[in-house]
Structure 1
Amino acid sequence: MKTNQDTCQNCEKPYEEGFQFCPHCGQKTNDELTLGVLFYNTISNYFSFDARFLKSFIPLMFRPGYLAKEFIKGKRLLYLHPAQMYLFVAVIFFFIFNFYVREGREKLDENMQRVLESRSEKLANRDSLVPQDSLDIKEFVKPLQNNAATIGLDEDDLKVLDSVANIKVPKKNMGMSYSFNEKDIDSLIAAGASDKELYKALGMDDDAGFFQRKFYGQILKFYKTMGLGQIFQAFIDSIPLAMFFLLPIFAFLLKLFFFNKGRYSHHLVFSFYYFSFLFVVFSLIFGVNRFWQIPDWIDWLIAFSTFFYLLVAIIKFYGQNWFLSFIKSGMVSFMFLWLVLPLSFVLLGFIAFLFY
């Protein structure tokens, strides 16, 4: 008996009429493109936001080590893939964290702007004291120093006068070399000196290579703009990418301490789920504090509890006793938090400084 046939819009192969999904490629047979379908497909394709996420979320939060153990056993369709879980919660975390980053950068920019204004004001006051001819500056400022209390000069003003008194102004031009200090750089900038002169004043060698020139160029850029907020933003922007390198390092540490407990890929699965848990916890902390300020001691207590989650997860996943698991999880945490992370942040800060 011949049955009615339909053709799949995706793979263009025939199938029996009445099927809800194509038996060849799996696409839904009646999949009209509505706004809801478009939105769901986008979320599903990129973040696998489906029933598996809901099935995975509760075990992730309240059954440490369970998801990783089940995934290693072979249950890889029942729960969300560890890398997909990590990607999804990481996106949510950095979205929430971005609000705090923006506020932090605004405060940094305001503080740096005040520093710039203060520096410009001091420079203007100092320049107003410099005579326009070839008089000896020491003789010019000496009466001001002697009568500081009378005319209302404070310690900062006296320091400025001292620095001005030691400046050697040539009788014909400003073509002189400066030592490396802020006042000299300010004077050069105010006089419209070229970058080459400024680099020399900063201490750069004439035969400096590309890297050294780049470094001094960033120093000068920072000094002129006080761009701490830009460096901070560049640093924050690099963290998501850095996490994709830090997570495998964490898995490598687990491999070192549990070298006979499976392949490196097994430790990587464990790390994906553990870092997913961390991102969920810190997303909740930042999210709740955004609307309702929680006491700091509670925040720290919740953050510290992630170590006990790691301990229980290691016991369940690796099947070792409490004592060995406590020692090894402590060593892994110590090496990662006090060695790997600080070195990584220093490197990220240096890169952010070079390319902000």
Structure 2
Amino acid sequence: MNQSVETCQNCEKQHKVGFEFCPHCGQTTKDELTLGLLFYNTISNYFSIDARFFKSFIPLMLKPGYLGKRFIEGKRLLYLHPAQLYLFISVVFFFLFSFSVRKEAQEWNKNLAKTLIKETDTITNQRVKDSLKLVKLLDTNRNDSIAKATTKKALMGTSKFTRMTESQIDSIVNSENLVIEGDNGLNFGFNEEVMDSLIAINAPEDQVYKQMGMSDDPGYLEKKLFVQLLKFYKTRQGGSVLQTFYDTLPIAMFFLLPIFALILKIFYLKRGRYSHHLVFSFYYFSFLFAVFSIIIGMNMIWDIPDGFDWFLAVSTIFYLFIALRTFYEQKWFLTFIKTGFVSFLFLLFVLPLTAGILALFAFMFY
């Protein structure tokens, strides 16, 4: 007697009717695509959120170095893979982090907008006239005595120089560069009154960049820098720079984590391969993101004292000390010394250097 068969939708091979899973590929035979199933498949396939996550998360938070040690020993199915755990927790962290970043960026834009010199309540017609007069005089040959006398007369009639003595004005007139500090608390390193005037009359960009100090034959990076500087001067969109800085952090972390593992490799040269140190780094960075996620989450619910935030942040160094002792099994004092050196190199050298690079990148491409 022939038994009924059906065809698997995934591998297109036949199997007996009544099987819950295909014996060839393992897919469920009644895989109706519902919203719940779609969500479950996405989570399980990309983040592997199952019982292993909870079996891994509790030891991660309460047993420093335990997960890494078990993984190196070969217990790799009982707990979540270190890269998967890091991926999931980092996604949660940056999701929560985005809310606080947006608020901080708005505050930056609001505060910097107050320094905008171009606003009608902070710039007068007389100031524009004075600045335009100075623009013409600055382009005149400095060695010409008549030009110097005219410049001196113009300066003495400008509000910026009314409190200066005649000898002080003479030294300014005879100098190669005339720089007037702005009233907004920000020092851009160029004549802001002249810049306001050039912008007000829609002067050519080359003339504006020259006034800012750009060389006659700039390279790509120099030209890009002045383009961004002029953009920032006009808009004071510091929040946009900050937002771009924070947006690059997830990418930067993929470089910082291997660097941290390399530092561990240097201090624990005979304690396993580089991959072993990388496993430790995945779990430690997962812990860091988990702690910072907790801090952000708690502050979103209620504003906890800053002292408690700092206590949790500093406790990550103590966690590192215990984790290194557990994972590498060296003496306490030696582990303490190595923890200090690892923390010093990473926190006071690698992180500031990375922050500087990211800040430059954010300013150049915001």
Question: Structure 1-normalised TM-score?
Answer: 0.85
Does the 8 Å CA contact 2:117/2:196 hold for their aligned counterparts?
Answer: no
Report the equivalent of 2:45: 45
Does the 8 Å CA contact 1:10/1:27 hold for their aligned counterparts?
Answer: yes
Aligned letter for 2:337? Answer: I
Q: State which of 308, 325, 338 in structure 2 corresponds to 1:315.
A: 325
Report the equivalent of 1:33: 33
Q: C-alpha displacement at 1:130, in angstroms?
A: 4.9
Q: State which of 267, 286, 303 in structure 2 corresponds to 1:293.
A: 303
In structure 2, the gaps of 5 or more residues are 137-149, 170-176, 180-189
Q: State which of 212, 228, 240 in structure 2 corresponds to 1:202.
A: 212
Secondary structure class of the residue paired with 2:248: helix
Structure 1 CA distance for aligned equivalents of residues 320 and 108 of structure 2: 35
Q: Deviations over 1:136-166 (max 9, x none)?
A: 8987997x99xxxxxxxxxxxx537679x98
Secondary structure class of the residue paired with 1:122: coil
CA 110–46 in structure 1, closer or farther in 2 if over 3 Å, else same: same
Structure 2 CA distance for aligned equivalents of residues 204 and 182 of structure 1: 15
Structure 1 CA distance for aligned equivalents of residues 105 and 161 of structure 2: 31
Report the equivalent of 2:353: 343
Aligned letter for 2:39? Answer: F
Structure 2 CA distance for aligned equivalents of residues 91 and 210 of structure 1: 36
CA 352–193 in structure 1, closer or farther in 2 if over 3 Å, else same: same
Q: Does 1:190 align with 2:191?
A: no
Secondary structure class of the residue paired with 2:121: helix
Q: C-alpha displacement at 1:315, in angstroms?
A: 1.1
Q: C-alpha displacement at 1:20, in angstroms?
A: 3.2
Question: Structure 2-normalised TM-score?
Answer: 0.82
For the aligned residue pairs, the C-alpha RMSD in angstroms reads 3.0
Q: State which of 262, 267, 281 in structure 2 corresponds to 1:257.
A: 267
Aligned letter for 1:287? Answer: G
Please, which moves more after superposition, 263-272 or 44-53?
44-53
CA 261–139 in structure 1, closer or farther in 2 if over 3 Å, else same: closer
CA 195–128 in structure 1, closer or farther in 2 if over 3 Å, else same: closer
Q: Deviations over 1:26-83 (max 9, x none)?
A: 3223322111111111111222112211221111111111111122222222211111
Q: Deviations over 1:5-38 (max 9, x none)?
A: 4432211233455443333323223322111111
Does the 8 Å CA contact 1:60/1:66 hold for their aligned counterparts?
Answer: yes
Report the equivalent of 1:150: none
Secondary structure class of the residue paired with 2:253: helix
Aligned letter for 2:160? Answer: K
Aligned letter for 2:115? Answer: V
CA 305–132 in structure 1, closer or farther in 2 if over 3 Å, else same: closer
Q: Deviations over 1:245-265 (max 9, x none)?
A: 101100110111111111111
List aligned pairs for 1:3-42, cutoff 5 A.
5-42=5-42
